[in-house]
Chains A and B, each alone.
Chain A
């Protein structure tokens, strides 16, 4: 490895990755890659990152505000020195090989200099040319010079070259006149960039269903037929109607709303045979919100099948339907008709064949997700294959890899999916890229370095106040010079000035100079909001040698000049008050130590099934030690219960290969017949005791050195003498590790329903899998097979949907049809949840004559079976078309049973992580942190998280591995210094803080005979609940101290007593 092979041009592995697409998947991938030590080029077609998620009002199933949870990620990406955001850019061509590609990118001009633009919005205000506001689905207008949305990153305006009067006719240029920052560049030109990258991640998202599809349902002809995305904008407070759902035709609130599902999905006429997976759930969300907007609204949802198969989705849907009195109809109205009094007429035939018609005030078209409009171009540029639906072609066992090595795909372009699955894939792809480019890690990144901090402990407060005009944003309302002069009179203020734009690059340089010249030791910036700009000023302070905690901001724009535009005097008075309060607090600020805690660079993975092995391999490939703990004698887990996937591959072979890789990997230590007996510590520094047998394999591949680094896994087990003699030693093993991945898996539910166990002709789908792979797959003279879905699931015994059983039933039905085409196969189901491309199997099964009959939970199938272990069962089911019970004798009755997780209680208690009522581990955030648990450094993947398919399990395991390696790659963890501090002299050890801390970040310890509380800095998030509840005020919060807040309160006092 060290000697370069002659005649081969030695190439250095790149430490950079190009991510194409700046939606939530791409942004997350960029952030994860940066955190793993890679430079990222984030290539975005539009003028801002954020993608579709930025346009959503809320997100299901929690109805969180979409932009609120997304915006911090966008800002983080915008600020990250290792993420270069290339907007208005298109990926053209990729040459080279994995590890050292060259990517060509065309960057279109913005006509407004991103680095100079302050985001003040004057250009839009004065721009004469109106254009449709694409962000608002053209439901309102914006101007040629505009920003896509208020929170857009980069926070820079841009000019639409197609409509700008100056660019097209040289007849305007007003924006250049009014731009105080001088950011307008009419001579801006297109650039072609050549980027050296080691890997490429495609995350272009999804495309728009064609208008023809919408028109079929009256969209474009009838004002009150809206696409779901249009409806989303109507619901949003920042949308075209300020959050009012009104009919476009008459501005009235609709009283009867219908949702039509599967628009552009499951529809052969438009070529999109697949299911888009997300629309069933988002329709429920939209319907719920519509009811919130108008509690009198009557809402009807037309479904083909209700496919709410995600984690917690069924529960959320059922609650929503019950609480809001939604009417759910299984039908697909073919069109929308206009009737003359302004109503919209829907006709449909229900399952009993009866025709119905009804009038609605508004019809929402739940549009599906299509492949990106430029999928072909992208596939050519990247040199990858597409599937028949123009999505990126991927393999079931390498779900994130495209046909070209080194090029990966995530998000909706990999197949229609929701936000958590996209975010998961982003985490996974970061792990894979870090594995591919392990040698390039940290080679192209920059780390911000700052001068040594000045010790200010002996200094009196010397406060500098900088009052910002923000162009005319503040200065146009607030009398900035008078605020500046007032600030200069405040106690401890030694310097006060005003700036046109405090955030501009040149002002930052000025700030550093002034801090040094004036020997300032506290900084108050009176400008916009700390939420977006505090980090910028704090970085500047650090450059000037000041601790970043010595900073305070007075929000005189977002919360003053912008909201009191017509009350200049009152706004100026308010600005003075806010500055006075900020200065009072600033005087009491103290430097806070930046904590740097070391990290043990290794991982512990619990569970040696598909998820655990994939996670372990993805961690080890990135160069970190990994211990894999498996309870059973052999690795493999329960994937081996499956004998074929829907593409014809044998999962058991794949598992075998994976086990071989694991056992041969120099960085992986496998402990079998082992369980976790104890674990203590926190992120970066866990110590675990594992009881069981160690397969001491590392010597097989000469990894003697791997064991000798101090602080590494300390294995107490003796070494075996030779490789044939992997002497198991039954001792407990103590392992030091930085992170934990839980992959403890799940198992099939064991049914008692439907006479299971009374005849060998009644089996589960899992048993059928084994049988179909055996020599005699089916009973002799097998003429009729009946399958029953949801056995024990969806409220029967298990409350949830197990997601995979419908697909498995269809797959096995097809296998039976393949083996014996004349066999009659009947599937009794509630909703066929063959989401995504599995829908193809469903359609094929129907074409091959498989009979699908829906049943309701109130009228489930009934099974009778005679005495004797071989007798044939009889199944009775109500047929809605015939309107009567139908009895059918089955040679084989197959029960689709769900998945139950391995009992999590003990482990959850040890790790202090929450589990759901259904015993699945509860992720830290269902949308944006799908593999992180609430306790830092602990991650989850596979069936322990929720039921999921093979490809989803693999992607999630790769994500857990990618996320888990972040602290390992950094080598240290730096918790936010706004943590709680406990004064031991005041602490009485009552333990209230410990019990109320949501993060287990406070523990009680014995100090001699006394009980005292101690903060675990690494876990504390700074909420301050402990401080508010401490009976002796022994706890204080960094930067938000009791004294500091009290100083603000006192300074609030309007000095003149009135």
Chain B
């Protein structure tokens, strides 16, 4: 696999759960593919929606975000906030016609070294199957990365971020943290801003 193509994967791991899980995988000497590069953040709640987009724009073929299991956030609800940011990233990937499978947000508790290994191994295989960014999409890699850089810029913009604030508010009010519900909230609250940028309907091909 590595001879033909070496997927580049960037990870954002929260200090308390997933980063610790990655460490404990090391202590247990569990082996996994050497494709992941990790950026440590204190909480997945810190995940700015622009980070994964920038990561893809800067040479990653896949982005992994790892946090604490739902309800186990070291702070209180940072991982739910991360789901909101993640929903936006997925939404934008859809609109750009980029395989949404290139972005994964998953959980591993500090004790779950083996689980972390499973997630990363699976994700690496998935990205390897998708090929370099642009391949499965049938697009020019340079153009895709340009699109992504623009998307990241949009994710730094006030309109989209205001939409995310409203989606987060609704989520906290409704206390339903399931991914489809959060995706719905983000589509609803950021829809207008996204339409201004990308025009047309919501979920892409």
Contact = CB atoms under 8 A, between A and B. Distances in A.
Given A238-B28, A564-B31, A574-B34, A65 B110 contact: yes
B29 to A, nearest CB: 6
Interface string A557-594: 11110111111001101100110010000000000000
B136 interface: no
A902 to B, nearest CB: 26
Which 10 A-B residue pairs are closest in the complex by CB-CB distance? A1024-B46, A558-B26, A68-B110, A65-B111, A998-B76, A562-B26, A1025-B45, A1053-B59, A570-B34, A1023-B75
Given A243-B114, A559-B26, A1027-B48, 10 more contacts: A237-B113, A238-B24, A559-B23, A566-B31, A578-B38, A581-B39, A998-B78, A1023-B42, A1025-B81, A1054-B8
Given A996-B168, A1053-B58, A531 B23 contact: yes
Interface of A: 57, 64-68, 150-151, 236-238, 242-243, 529-531, 555, 557-560, 562-567, 570-571, 573-574, 577-578, 581, 978, 990, 992, 995-996, 998-999, 1021-1025, 1027-1033, 1037, 1040, 1042, 1045-1046, 1048-1050, 1052-1054, 1058
Interface stretch (B158-166, B179-187, B196-204): B158-166
B45 A1023 contact: yes
Which of the listed residues B37, B59, B81, B114 has the most CB atoms from chain A within 10 Å of its own CB? B37
Contact of A67 (B10, B72, B111, B114): B111
Given A563-B29, A990-B165, A1045-B39, A571 B58 contact: no
A1023 B78 contact: yes
A1038 to B, nearest CB: 10
A1029 B164 contact: yes
A558 B38 CA distance: 12
Nearest to B109: A65
B2 A570 contact: yes
B43 A992 contact: no
B151 interface: no
A1031 B48 contact: no
Which of the listed residues A581, A995, A1045 has the most CB atoms from chain B within 10 Å of its own CB? A1045
B156 interface: yes
A1031 B162 contact: yes
Contacts of A1049: 10, 39, 51, 54-55, 58
A435 B45 CA distance: 42
Contacts of B156: 1033
A1031 B27 contact: no
A995 B169 contact: yes
B47 A1028 contact: yes
Interface in B1-52: 2, 8, 10, 15, 17, 19-20, 22-32, 34, 37-43, 45-49, 51
A57 B110 CA distance: 12
A140 B30 CA distance: 18
B12 to A, nearest CB: 8
27 contacts: A57-B111, A65-B112, A68-B111, A150-B27, A150-B28, A555-B23, A558-B23, A558-B26, A559-B23, A560-B26, A563-B25, A574-B37, A578-B37, A990-B162, A998-B75, A998-B76, A999-B75, A1023-B43, A1023-B46, A1025-B43, A1025-B45, A1032-B161, A1042-B48, A1048-B39, A1052-B10, A1052-B39, A1054-B8
A397 B196 CA distance: 70
B41 A558 contact: no
Contacts of A1045: 39, 41, 48, 51
A1029 B78 contact: no
B49 to A, nearest CB: 8
A57 B109 CA distance: 12
Contacts of A1053: 58-59
Contacts of A57: 111
Given A558-B27, A1037-B46, A1050-B58, A237 B77 contact: no
Contacts of A1033: 156
Nearest to A571: B34
B153 to A, nearest CB: 12
Contacts of A978: 42
Contacts of A1023: 42-43, 45-46, 74-75, 78
Given A64-B72, A570-B34, A1024 B26 contact: no
A1021 B73 CA distance: 13
A529 B22 CA distance: 10
A1028 B111 contact: no
A636 B164 CA distance: 52
B132 interface: yes
Contact of A238 (B58, B76, B111, B117): B111
A89 B42 CA distance: 38
Contacts of B48: 1027-1028, 1042, 1045
Given A68-B111, A1023-B78, A1052-B59, A1030 B161 contact: yes
B31 A1028 contact: no
Contacts of A565: 29, 31
Interface in B87-145: 109-115, 117, 132
A1031 B47 contact: no
Contacts of A243: 114
B26 A1025 contact: no
A559 B111 contact: no
Nearest to B5: A1058
A1002 to B, nearest CB: 13
A995 B114 CA distance: 36
Nearest to A577: B37
Contacts of B30: 563
Contacts of B158: 1031-1032
A234 to B, nearest CB: 14
B60 interface: yes
Contacts of B115: 237
B77 A998 contact: yes
B161 A1029 contact: yes
Which of the listed residues B2, B24, B25, B82 has the most CB atoms from chain A within 10 Å of its own CB? B24
Given A558-B22, A1058-B132, A1052 B60 contact: yes
Given A558-B26, A559-B23, A1031 B38 contact: no
B55 to A, nearest CB: 5
Contacts of A1048: 39
Contacts of B111: 57, 65-68, 236-238
Contacts of A570: 2, 34
A564 B34 contact: yes
A1049 B60 CA distance: 9
A238 B25 CA distance: 10
A998 B75 CA distance: 7
Contacts of B27: 150-151, 558, 562
Contacts of A1050: 54, 58
Contacts of B169: 995
A531 B45 CA distance: 19
Contacts of B39: 581, 1045, 1048-1049, 1052
Contacts of B25: 558-559, 563
